[in-house]
Amino acid sequence: MTHDFTDQIILVTGAGDGIGRAAARQFAERGGTLVLIDIKGVPEVEAELAARGSAVLGVTMDVRDATAWSNLVADLLARFGRIDVLVNNAGIALPGDSVIDGTDDMWEQIMSINAKGVWLGMQAVLPAMVAAGRGKICNVASTAAHIGLRDAAIYCASKGAVLALTRQAGVQYAPDNIQINSVSPGTTMTGIQRTVTDAQRAAFLPLTPIGRFARSEEVAETIVFLCSGGSSFITGADLSVDGGMVAL
């Protein structure tokens, strides 16, 4: 299935690496105008896509900053007149994340990026989408929103919040012709794996019936689908891209 994003304005957070970078590439290949958002890595991805002839704008920004979101959206509406797609992908995991060992600082870091960042992104773009009478939002949740992963207490809580936000917003803005969905990747070979211990990896693989971990490109394909015309009757939904992990 092919999806055409020609002339669409597409925002991708966490675009400097991993799933966000893979999604940005795929949207660009399909004609989209990309706005890349991350706290690092943006110039490299921007240069890569521009060299391929894609329309791209890199923005180094913290997704926890409500003022930065407001300013960015105002600038984009002044430049382009609309925002068609938002992919809320930015997220972190930290080692030592158990109920006993977690700290207030860890809670603040993980929840503010993984959950609050998603809420702020939706809050910033939805008024323009409602005014336009259309829009697509895809939030990146995780299998951690569905099952309890060892040493990932706050991370699980944050991704559960993403899932709940997606369902609520998907229902509320469905009458405005805005489809809001999420993907729940299983273990995926991205930069976040730098914080995952060998013991966690060893535990995750037997829980994945396909018998391997996902590539970023495989998760990105699902994101692209949920942001395309092919998802016109899907909203408030979550698609697991986990090799069968949640089905066990």
Catalytic residues: 155
Rg (C-alpha) for the chain, rounded Å, is 17
Look at residue 6 and give its three-state secondary structure.
coil
243 Cβ contact partners less than 8 Å away, ≥ 6 residues apart: 186, 208, 209, 210, 211, 212, 213, 214
How many Cβ atoms from other residues are within 10 Å of residue 150's Cβ? 13
CA distance 129 to 10: 12
Distances (CA, A) of 225 to 2, 71, 130, 137, 229: 9, 29, 21, 11, 8
Which long-range contacts link 50-57 to residues 24+ away (Cβ below 8 Å)? 52/28, 54/28, 54/29, 56/24, 56/28, 57/33
Q: For residue 10, give the nearest of 119, 68, 83, 112 by alpha carbon.
A: 83
- Contacts with 62 (C-beta within 8 Å, 6 or more apart), sequence order: 39, 68
Report d(CA 126, CA 174) in Å as an integer: 12
Distance CA 71, CA 146 (A): 34
